[in-house]
Amino acid sequence: MQEANIQEIIYRLSYWIQVVRYSYNGNKLIIEGYLRPGFTLSEVEYGMRPFIKKIHQNVGFEIDTFTLDLAVPQSSIPRLHLILFLLTVLTTLLAGTLMAGYNPIRQPASIVHGVPFSLTLLLILGVHELGHFYFAKKHKVDATLPYFIPAPTFIGTFGAFIKMRSPVRQRAALLEIGAAGPIAGFLVALPALFIGLYLSKVVPMMPEAGIHLGDSLVMKFATWLVFPNLSPEQDILLHPVGFAAWIGMLVTMLNLLPIGQLDGGHIAYAALGRNADKLGWGALIVTALLGIKSPNWLVWAALVFILVRVKHPPVYDENTPLTRGQYLIVAAAIIIFILTFIPVPFKS
CATH number, position 32: 3.30.1360.100
Q: How far apart are CA 191 and CA 195, in angstroms?
A: 6
Sign of CA dihedral 163, 143, 185, 99: negative
**Which residue, among 272, 293, 278, 289, has the nearest Cα to 344 in the 3D structure?**
293
One domain, residues 13 and 153: no
One domain, residues 86 and 177: yes
One domain, residues 168 and 261: yes
One domain, residues 175 and 225: yes
Average pLDDT (189-212) is 86
One domain, residues 294 and 330: yes
Average pLDDT (202-225) is 85
Residue 172 phi/psi, 5-degree rounding, is -65, -40
**Per-residue model confidence (pLDDT) at position 61:** 59
One domain, residues 24 and 86: no
12: domain range? Answer: 3-70
**Among 25, 52, 70, residue at a domain's last position:** 70
Summarize pLDDT for 272-289 with one digit per residue, the tens.
988 999 999 999 999 999
Structural domains of the chain, count: 2
CA distances to 133, 175, 189, 275 from 265, in Å:
17, 10, 22, 11
**Among 49, 70, 91, residue at a domain's last position:** 70
One domain, residues 18 and 138: no
Q: Where are the beta strands (DSSP E) in 28-187?
A: 28-35, 52-59, 64-70, 147-150, 157-161
Summarize pLDDT for 124-146 with one digit per residue, the tens.
999 999 999 999 988 888 788 89
Reported confidence tier of residue 22, pLDDT bands at 50, 70, 90 = confident
One domain, residues 114 and 52: no
**Per-residue model confidence (pLDDT) at position 140:** 80
Summarize pLDDT for 24-74 with one digit per residue, the tens.
766 677 888 888 777 788 877 777 776 777 787 877 656 777 777 766 555
Q: How far apart are CA 182 and CA 85, in angstroms?
A: 20
**Among 41, 70, 99, residue at a domain's last position:** 70
One domain, residues 155 and 59: no
One domain, residues 219 and 167: yes
Q: Which residues contact 244 (CB under 8 A, 6 or more apart)?
A: 96, 116, 117, 118, 120, 121, 124, 192, 196
Residue 58 bridge partners (DSSP): 65
- Per the prediction, the chain carries an average pLDDT of 87
CB atoms within 10 A of CB 39: 13
**Per-residue model confidence (pLDDT) at position 337:** 97
Q: How far apart are CA 68 and CA 306, in angstroms?
A: 36
One domain, residues 28 and 124: no
**Per-residue model confidence (pLDDT) at position 125:** 97
Q: Which residues contact 298 (CB under 8 A, 6 or more apart)?
A: 288, 291
CA geometry: angle at 135 spanning 287 and 249, to 5°? 35
3 versus 164: the higher-pLDDT residue is 164
Summarize pLDDT for 70-107 with one digit per residue, the tens.
665 555 677 889 999 999 999 999 999 998 889 888 88
pLDDT of 2 above 70? no
CA geometry: angle at 183 spanning 150 and 244, to 5°? 40
CA distances to 63, 101, 107, 199 from 154, in Å:
59, 13, 18, 21
One domain, residues 90 and 196: yes
